[in-house]
Chains A and B, each alone.
Chain A
Amino acid sequence: MYKVIRYDLRYGVLEGRRKLLLAVAMAGLALADFYFDFVALSLAFTGEIWGFGKLDLSLGDVILLGMGGNFGRTGSGPLSSFVFPTLWYLSVLFPCCMTLTLASDDISAGGVQIMSRLRGRGRWWLSKCVLCAALVALYYAVLYAILWLGSVLMGFKSSVVPNEAVFATCFGGVKFVASETTPAALLAGLIVQPILVTVALCLTEMAMTLFVKPIYALIAVAAYLAAGTLVLSPAFLGNFAMPLRSKAIGVFNFDFLTCLALCAALSLIAVLIGRWKIAKTDII
């Protein structure tokens, strides 16, 4: 088992390295989007287009403005307007595309040779699940590394704590109070929760590809994610993956521990169902 996981991680990640360009593209989009927001902010706060150093911004601001998601439709007040969070949506959907055909492609390539050497389909499936989770983690590592680098180059702090005044300006007067949360909670809400949710969704999607064509699995996950942008419910894990809706920001209660429990449960179910299905599947 260890040897095949090592095999998959070593060569699966290498095989998937071109797909990581999606992470680079995503980071580029987020930074570009932030840049335009930043120009507007700079004008509003300093009266200058290039007032970079005067706003006391951080990596947290870049993540929230670039890929923070939205506050959903809450009916009235400053949170009532709904704009589809395209960048956030793409940031979660890209890894789903990256890992979509990991299992199905492998069965039609060298997977049969690997399975026969392992003597068990279950071990092969578990190895694919580990590879899937590793690729998602790698995707976010690349994405956040580029965002961090971009932040540093623009002279921002490496902290995930956003600027309260800028936050209120950007999000329709919604108050974020840094003293009511901790940097660890912000780190969990802004960075860890999206990773957990994406891993769970990618594993579920990969298990679905054992039942239906990969494109249908992707459509199902894409629709589920889109629904999560509209419905503020823990049943839609997308809520936990949106930094703006995390408990750390203080508007909604999508907290880290619930996220961890739900993602672990969904991942476990996906792994077990996938393992059951692959054991029954005829490989033709």
Chain B
Amino acid sequence: MEILLENVTKTFGNTNVIEDVSMTMRSGRVYGLQGINGCGKTMLMRLISGLIHPTSGRVLVDGKALAGENSFPESMGLLIENPSFLKSYSGRKNLEMLASIRGRIDKTGVQNALERVELADNADKKYGKYSLGMRQKLGIACAVMERPDLILLDEPFISLDEAAVERTARIIREERQRGALIVLSCHDYDLLTGCSDEIFKIVGGKLAHRLIRDGEGKFKEAEL
């Protein structure tokens, strides 16, 4: 999979929330997005996911622009901001219901995803009774359960305890090994650098820096 952003700008009113961003992303790598609150990380994720449309420029997935009836990438797992599910159903039922739409995985696949985030013991509780951390775990399980080619994780470590943070980082590494293209945003620089192969620093909606991990595991400035 290859995602190409060509001079993408997104404007709300008179404000450019994303300005002239161009970047290329490929399978088997983790791309970290770094920046202060409101810099445009989430908007960039929404543009890549197809949830919002660029005001100008294009988002291409494997050479095809996201538009019309195919406004979303074909195989995508998504966790953007707070995950939302049906409150009156259990975490397991929510995932099973969503999995039934594409039919790529069965109940065993859902169980595996719940075990990966260590939510299996609480999977039969109603989602409405979940703590913030459990909701976040369910959101992560939902994003990875169908083994998508593209995984977008916006602040996946929020509300997680230390062990869960480590497990989530492990899941990200496993998914990269599998060949998924992962876009990750995170405020914790150590976590971001620990998980990412490339980091894009965003300032005021523009790409300010691009850092690439070298053979020694250190990040070096690269051409935008």
Contact = CB atoms under 8 A, between A and B. Distances in A.
7 contacts: A3-B101, A109-B84, A110-B84, A119-B70, A122-B69, A280-B53, A282-B51
B130 interface: no
Interface of B: 46, 49-53, 68-74, 76, 78, 80, 84-86, 88-89, 94, 97-98, 100-103, 142
A279 B69 CA distance: 8
Interface in A32-47: none
Nearest to A118: B101
Q: Which of A4, A110, A118, A120 has the most CB of B within 10 A?
A: A110
Interface of A: 3-4, 6-7, 11, 15, 108-110, 112-123, 279-280, 282-284
A119 B53 contact: no
Given A11-B86, A121-B71, A112 B100 contact: no
B69 A120 contact: yes
List 7 tightest A-B contacts by C-beta distance, closest first.
A282-B52, A120-B69, A283-B51, A109-B84, A117-B101, A119-B72, A116-B72
A249 to B, nearest CB: 43
A112 B83 CA distance: 10
A112 B42 CA distance: 15
B86 A7 contact: no
Contact of A279 (B71, B84, B103): B71
Contact of B76 (A114, A116, A122): A116
Nearest to B66: A119
Contacts of B142: 113
Given A112-B80, A282-B53, A120 B72 contact: yes
B50 to A, nearest CB: 7
Given A110-B98, A112-B84, A120-B71, 12 more contacts: A4-B101, A7-B100, A109-B84, A109-B85, A112-B78, A113-B85, A116-B76, A118-B72, A121-B71, A282-B46, A283-B46, A284-B46
A108 B70 CA distance: 21
Nearest to A3: B101
A282 B76 CA distance: 18
A117 B80 contact: no
Given A112-B78, A120-B72, A15 B51 contact: no
Nearest to B142: A113
B156 to A, nearest CB: 15
A120 B51 contact: no
A6 B103 CA distance: 13
Contacts of A6: 100
Contacts of B72: 115-116, 118-120
B86 A113 contact: no
A15 B73 CA distance: 29
A3 B103 contact: yes
Contacts of B94: 110
B86 A109 contact: yes
A3 to B, nearest CB: 5
Given A109-B85, A110-B86, A117 B52 contact: no
Contact of B101 (A114, A121, A122): A114
A284 B52 contact: yes
B194 to A, nearest CB: 27
Contacts of A117: 98, 101-102
B217 to A, nearest CB: 33
Nearest to A282: B52
A116 B69 contact: no
